Amino acid sequence: MKHLKIDHLGIAVPGLDAAVAAYEALGFAVEARHDVPTEKVRTAFLPVGESHLELLEPTDPSSPIARFLEKRSGLHHVCVLVDDVDAALADMKARGVPLVDETPRVGAGGCRVAFVHPKGAAGVLLELKERERGDETPRAEG
């Protein structure tokens, strides 16, 4: 399993518009926004060098982000790009790493993603995002 680079840092926020305004005041600019109905969130991606900040606002009280915000705020997950998310999951599963997802799901912008349980990543929720085949450019999609 080859980790290429950090794609984005996911930050849980109670209000996307207010968070975007705060980051814009710091000099950031929104590159893309996505609604992800399957995860019950709205997102905004802000480029930082080759990576992004992903601001995540829950759209439903039952969403994972809403549950996260009930207990804490701030950094929710770290996303790394991998060449093949299926191979990465199989390798981690074979090594006994606890997974949230044993098969990929569709993330923001239609990319393939899967999550590693914090118990398997030193206390951090880790998202694996598959790099689009033939695309060497980082994408703010998931």
Read off the pLDDT of residues 5-17 as tens digits, 9 standing for 90 and up.
899 999 999 999 9
pLDDT digits (tens, 9 = 90+) for 37-93: 999 999 999 999 999 999 999 999 999 999 999 998 889 999 999 999 999 999 999
pTM for this predicted structure = 0.82
Which candidate, 105, 102, 131, places its Cα nearest to that of 7? 131
Distances (CA, A) of 71 to 6, 54, 100, 122: 26, 19, 19, 19
